[in-house]
Amino acid sequence: MARSLQLYDELARQLAWSRDTIVLYGKPVQIPRLQAWYGDNGLDYTYSGLTLTARPWLPLLAELKHMVEVKSGVRFNAVLANLYRDGNDTVGWHSDDEPELGENPVIVSLSFGGERNFNFKHKMSGEKLTIPLKSGSLLIMAGETQRCWQHCVPRTKKAKLPRISLTFRQIKS
Ligand SMILES: O=C(O)CCC(=O)C(=O)O
Ligand SMILES: [Fe+2]
C-alpha cells in the first residue's frame, strides 16, 4: 500500500477526532467533518465561537511537522486536522484570517486517503481555481492567499474514500 494511505490509517486511528459545534449567525451548528487540534503546550485556537485547546504533539504528527518544515522552510507550532468521512463532509468557503495567525500566514496542508477537490475563489474578481488533492499532496498557502482568496472543500458524490488533511499553522501569542 502507498505510504500516504498507511499514514491515513495511522492518523485515523491515533488522533482524538471530535465533531465540534460552532456558532454561525448566533446559532450552534455541528461542523460537517471531524477535527482534532494539536500543538505546542496548551495553544488555543478560536474561530466561529469555538475554542480548541491544543493536545500535545503525537510522535507521528511531530515527524510530519518536521518534514513539512524542511519542505517549506517555515516553522509551525500547531496543526488542525480534518477528517472527511465521505463526500458529504465538507469545509465551506472561508479564509484562515483569524488574528492569531498574523498577517500573510503560511499554512501548509498534507492530504491522505481519498482525493478531494480544493477550490479557491478570489474575493474581488471572483476568479475560481480548483486543485485536486490526491493522497500524499502538499499544498502551501502563503503571501496574500488568505487576504485575497477564500477556499473550500466542496461536497461531492465522487469521493470513494475518506480523506484526512493536516493543516500546519503558526499561532502568534
Ligand atoms: O481539508 C483541507 O484541505 C482544508 C481544510 C481547511 O481549509 C482548514 O482547516 O482551514
Ligand atoms: Fe482553511
Kindly report, residue by residue over 160-171, the tens digit of the pLDDT. Answer: 899 999 999 999
Q: Is the CB of 34 under 6 A from ligand 1?
A: no
Atom of ligand 1 nearest to the CA of 94: 7
- Banded pLDDT at 37 (limits 50, 70, 90): very high
Per-residue model confidence as pLDDT tens digits over 98-115:
999 999 999 999 999 999
Q: What residue spans define the domains of the chain?
A: 3-169
* CA 57 to mean position of chain CA atoms: 16
Q: Is the CB of 169 under 6 A from ligand 1?
A: no
> Residue 126 is placed in which grid cell?
471572483
| CA 27 / ligand 1 centre spacing (Å) | 22
Atom of ligand 1 nearest to the CA of 151: 7
**Ligand number, closest to the Cα atom of 112:** 1
- Banded pLDDT at 128 (limits 50, 70, 90): very high
Burial 143-153 (b: 16+ CB within 10 A, else e): eebbeebbbeb
Q: Is the CB of 146 under 6 A from ligand 1?
A: no
The two most distant CA atoms of the chain are separated, in Å, by: 45
Indicate the CATH number for domain 3-169.
Answer: 2.60.120.590
Q: What is the pTM of this model?
A: 0.95
Phi, psi at 61, each rounded to 5°: -70, -35
pLDDT above 80: residue 52:
yes
Bridging pattern class, strands 138-141 and 107-113 = antiparallel
Neighbours of 161 (CB within 10 A): 15
Per-residue model confidence as pLDDT tens digits over 149-161:
999 999 999 988 9
| CA 125 / ligand 1 centre spacing (Å) | 22
